[in-house]
Amino acid sequence: MIDNGLILIVDDTPTNLEVLSETLYDAGFEVAIALDGESALAQVQVGDFDLILLDVMMPGIDGFETCRRLKADSVNNNIPVIFMTALSDNESKIKALEIGAVDYITKPFHEKEVLARVKTHLKLHKLTLSLEQKVTERTTQLTEALENLKTSQLQLVNNEKMSALGNLVAGVAHEINNPVGCISGNINHTEAYSKDLFQIINIYQQACPLLPQHLQQELEALDLEFLHEDLPKTIHSIQLSTQRIKEISNSLRTFSRADSDHPILCNIHESIDSTILILKHRLKATENRPEIQIIKNYGIIPQIECYAGQLNQVFMNLLANAIDALEESNTGRSFTEIATNPNCITITTNISDEKLIISIQDNGKGITENIKTRIFDQLFTTKEVGKGTGLGLAIARQVIVEKHHGTINVHSTPKGGAEFTITIPLS
């Protein structure tokens, strides 16, 4: 015998109710009864029925209307309905099936037929519910597996990207250091040597004021006085440039920290500054626009433990996107118009509620609502083919949310620019 089920019998004839109730009860089913359609619909709202035997001809609303209302109920529309009718015309049978019934039984009843049909449809109903549950579970599992796969792929891409970029930048910084060290070490000697030479020349000129004519001509052609004035300036310029290259090299090393396996103590302001320095060439003035201004509103913040290399990649993505947005907003504007309302990126840092808050805001044309809802999705990009991968902000979100247990959000209004806000717990 199949598992017990709760069956609702709806019929306005007491004799039919008695016969059906006894037959089903003897077969091991629980039974409830209703004398009309309104009563049946009310019971369905509070009961947990497995099947309904529904008479067609009843006072008030008939069986067809009762079935229609039942099928319109999103909670109970999956309960199988078997019509009971004395109508033998095909039109009524077709109508019953069209409005949602699974079967019909013709009066007068045959007890074995009733039981056979009830058991069959209960089995089918339970199999359907079981299948739906398995489909739901499988869909959930597949969805989770897909999300895990996307996360793993994104992490792999990010790790490979950071590894390649880190190795490249670290290698460049290392290669720069050797010649810069040579220049830096020798320029000071060159400065001292030049001072010694000019001192000897001055002493010689004082000791021998009357020089041979050909030597006097050579000195005039050489413009010794100009050389004496300009050479120290040239040496000083080389010293400043050397110091600038050292700063760039240090920034490259800061940006390319190899820390993918463990967090390290990091000065966030140094990380942001190193990223800005790497993007310096994109900020400079061009023939089409003035220089993009960087406004730093740095607060007093402590060093934090973080995956510094990956966090630098987040800063790189956000700042590069801000520059792209500003470039796009300049389309159709003249140099003078842009200069009147200069392109700028504002970077703000502070501490609030034991969290580090970093804001990167541009004054571009902003982001529309439909784009904001998808902006952190993997492979979503608004850029032309070949100019964007759709991975930058997805990676940024993964680094902030999964690696640092923080949040990253975007706020934007049309023509009001865009602001990305990162929060990272200090502990």
Instruction: Quote the pLDDT of residue 2.
Output: 44
Q: Are residues 326 and 366 in the same domain?
A: yes
Q: Say how far residue 160 (Cα) sits from the centre of its chain.
A: 19
Instruction: Quote the pLDDT of residue 251.
Output: 64
Of 11-15, 205-209, 216-220, the range with the highest mean pLDDT is 11-15
Handedness of CA 95, 96, 97, 103 (dihedral sign): negative
The answer to pTM > 0.75 is no
Q: Say how far residue 127 (Cα) sits from the centre of its chain.
A: 40
Domain count, the chain: 3
Q: Are residues 209 and 271 in the same domain?
A: no
Q: Are residues 102 and 162 in the same domain?
A: no
CATH number for 349: 3.30.565.10
Q: Give me the mean pLDDT over the 234-239 stretch.
A: 84
Q: Give me the mean pLDDT over the 39-51 stretch.
A: 87
Q: Are residues 244 and 156 in the same domain?
A: yes
Inter-residue contact 62 to 37 (CB < 8 Å): yes
Buried/exposed code over 364-401 (b: 16+ C-beta within 10 A; e: otherwise):
bbbbeeeeeeebbebeebeeeeeebeebbbbbbbbbbe
**Amino acid at position 136, single letter:** T
What does the mean pLDDT of the chain come to?
A: 82
Q: Are residues 271 and 329 in the same domain?
A: yes
Inter-residue contact 107 to 53 (CB < 8 Å): no
* Whole-number percent of the chain with pLDDT over 70: 86
Q: Are residues 239 and 265 in the same domain?
A: no
Q: What is the DSSP string of 96-132?
A: HHHTT-SEEEESSP-HHHHHHHHHHHHHHHHHHHHHH
Could you list the residue range(s) of the whole structural domain that residue 97 is in?
A: 6-109
Q: Are residues 226 and 310 in the same domain?
A: no
In-domain check, residue 178:
yes
In-domain check, residue 140:
no
Task: Give the range among 105-109, 115-119, 122-126, 418-422 with minimum mean pLDDT.
Answer: 105-109
Token couple for 51: 């099947």
Using 50, 70 and 90 to split pLDDT, how confident is the model at 346? Answer: very high
In-domain check, residue 363:
yes
| C-alpha torsion angle, residues 120, 124, 130, 133 (rounded to 10) | -150
Where would I find the H helices in 81-223? 90-98, 111-207, 213-222
Using 50, 70 and 90 to split pLDDT, how confident is the model at 424? Answer: very high
* Whole-number percent of the chain with pLDDT over 90: 15
Instruction: Quote the pLDDT of residue 300.
Output: 94
Q: Are residues 242 and 295 in the same domain?
A: no
Among 109, 139, 168, the domain boundary falls at 109
In-domain check, residue 127:
no
In-domain check, residue 121:
no
pLDDT tops 90 at residue 168: no
The tens digit of pLDDT for each residue in 84-102 reads 877 666 777 788 788 888 8
In-domain check, residue 118:
no
In-domain check, residue 48:
yes
Among 193, 225, 256, the domain boundary falls at 256
Using 50, 70 and 90 to split pLDDT, how confident is the model at 25? Answer: confident
Using 50, 70 and 90 to split pLDDT, how confident is the model at 165? Answer: low
Q: Are residues 301 and 423 in the same domain?
A: yes
pLDDT tops 50 at residue 386: no
pLDDT tops 70 at residue 174: no
168 or 337: which leads in pLDDT: 337
Q: Do strands 30-34 and 344-352 pair parallel, antiparallel, or not at all (unpaired)?
A: unpaired
Q: Are residues 346 and 426 in the same domain?
A: yes
CATH number for 15: 3.40.50.2300
Q: What is the DSSP letter of 407?
A: E
Q: What is the DSSP string of 321-388?
A: HHHHHHHHHTTT--HHHHHHS--EEEEEEEEETTEEEEEEEE-SS---HHHHTTTTSTT---SPTTT-
Q: Are residues 285 and 219 in the same domain?
A: no
Using 50, 70 and 90 to split pLDDT, how confident is the model at 348? Answer: very high
| C-alpha torsion angle, residues 147, 152, 154, 157 (rounded to 10) | -160
Read off φ and ψ for residue 411, nearest 5 degrees. Answer: -125, 130
Among 87, 109, 131, the domain boundary falls at 109
Q: Give me the mean pLDDT over the 23-47 stretch.
A: 87
pLDDT tops 80 at residue 157: no
Q: Are residues 230 and 287 in the same domain?
A: no
Instruction: Quote the pLDDT of residue 161.
Output: 56
Inter-residue contact 103 to 85 (CB < 8 Å): no
In-domain check, residue 412:
yes
Q: Give me the mean pLDDT over the 240-265 stretch.
A: 70
Q: Say how far residue 208 (Cα) sits from the centre of its chain.
A: 80
Q: What is the DSSP string of 18-61?
A: HHHHHHHHHTT-EEEEESSHHHHHHHHHHS--SEEEEESS-SSS
Output the CA–CA distances (angstroms, integers) from residue 113 to 31, 103, 124, in the order listed: 18, 12, 16
Instruction: Quote the pLDDT of residue 1.
Output: 38
Using 50, 70 and 90 to split pLDDT, how confident is the model at 3? Answer: low
Instruction: State how far the Cα of 211 lies from the Cα of 326, in Å rounded to an integer.
Output: 65
Instruction: Quote the pLDDT of residue 319.
Output: 93
Instruction: Quote the pLDDT of residue 186.
Output: 85
